[in-house]
Amino acid sequence: MVHFVGAGPGAPDLITLRGWEHIREADVIIYAGSLVNPALLKGAKEGCAVYNSAEMTLEEVLAVMEQAEGAGKTTVRLHTGDPCLYGAIREQMDALAARGILYDGTPGVSSFCAAAAALGAEYTLPGVSQSVIITRMVGRTPVPERESVAAMAAHGTSMVLFLSSGLLEEVQGELLKGAYTQDTPAALVYKASWPEEKTVYCTVGTLAETGRAHGIQKTALVLVGGFLGAEYQRSKLYDPQFTTGYREGRQ
Ligand code: SAH
């Protein structure tokens, strides 16, 4: 059996109880060493074999899983944040299915949630935005043309850019081709939930300059949108005059 586990954004106590239990019971752990906090490996039992997938190919990862399975062992595949975002898990799952190896998934706290927590931000603010676009800048990894940052920026909604903090000049240019302006609020969140976490507010027009000034190039998220500004409306849900399934509105 292979358990795909979300490690959370960095702080070791931000893994789920289920994820932690899988780590404690694993015979083999393959962790994404570029971003997963190695402190999580302290939960592994004695004799657990640990592999850093940052130094491995897909084929090598699969070979370790296959060998473990053949020996009746349990493997944990530990991915940063939540594995469903930029986790490259589908190719592993399909390969396991083709080999008849059972697997399951345990979600994790994605870095975009940890970044909001670090800023005390809410992506879905009444009167501002009710949608979040999660995307990335095209780089060495392609992005479908219809999903270019400029195309996504046409919506002007809350946006989170993964894997793009090394390309802030390009990000800024693309965002300005859409509905955002030079003054649209933005933020950079570096290593959310790690001890070295850094949060910097700026605007779309100053993204690149802010990144340079603070030396933020990787392991950071770019957040963009009016949700980082001061204006919003109060919620209907908690409005005294609004009737819900649980509460009668007062006139
Ligand atoms: N599955 C992960 C994302 C993996 S892609 C998740 O759900 O968070 C790797 C990118 O995620 C990094 O380049 C960076 O943009 C972002 N990232 C991961 N951990 C982060 C953290 N603690 N703080 C800020 N950004 C982070």
Look at residues 158, 143, 136 and name the one whose alpha carbon lies nearest to residue 226. Answer: 158
The 3 state secondary structure assigned to 134-187 is: EEECCCCCCCCHHHCHHHHHCCCCEEEEECCCCCHHHHHHHHHCCCCCCCCEEE
Q: Which long-range contacts (CB under 8 A, 24 or more apart) does 63-68 make?
A: 64/28, 64/30, 65/2, 65/28, 65/30, 65/92, 65/96, 65/101, 66/99, 66/101, 68/27, 68/28
50 CB neighbour count, 10 Å cutoff: 15
In CATH terms, the fold of domain 111-228 is 3.30.950
> For residue 82, which of 163, 4, 12 has the smallest C-alpha distance?
4
Enter the pTM of the model: 0.96
Q: Which of 14, 219, 223 to mutate to test the pocket of ligand 1 (most atoms within 8 A of CB)?
A: 219
Q: Which atom of ligand 1 is nearest to the CA of 197?
A: 23
* Location of each CATH 3.40.1010.10 domain in the chain: 2-106
The answer to whether the CB of 26 is under 6 A from ligand 1 is no
Q: Where are the beta strands (DSSP E) in the chain?
A: 2-6, 28-31, 49-52, 75-79, 103-106, 132-136, 158-162, 185-190, 198-203, 220-224
Listed in order, the ranges of the chain carrying CATH 3.30.950.10 are: 111-228
Report the nearest-CA residue for atom 14 of ligand 1: 219
Topology, domain 2-106: Cobalt-precorrin-4 Transmethylase; domain 1 (3.40.1010)
- Spatial CA neighbour of 91 closest among 125, 53, 59: 59
pLDDT at site 234: 94
Measured from the CB, is residue 117 less than 6 Å from ligand 1? no
Residue 163 Cβ inside 6 Å of ligand 1? The answer reads yes
DSSP conformation class of 248: P
Check residue 251 and give its pLDDT: 80
Whether ligand 1 lies within 6 angstroms of the CB of 193 is answered as yes
Does the Cβ of 111 fall within 6 Å of ligand 1? Answer: yes
The ligand 1 atom nearest the CA atom of 9? 22
197-234 per-position pLDDT tens digit = 999 999 999 999 999 999 999 999 999 999 999 999 99
Average pLDDT over residues 16-23: 98
Q: Which of 132, 162, 188 to mutate to test the pocket of ligand 1 (most atoms within 8 A of CB)?
A: 162
Say if residue 146's pLDDT is above 90: yes
Amino acid 90: pLDDT: 98
Tokens of 174: 């693309």
Phi-psi region of 218 (alpha: psi -120 to 50; beta: other; left: phi over 0): beta
Give residue-wise pLDDT tens across range 65-74: 999 999 999 9
Percentage of the chain beyond pLDDT 70 is 100
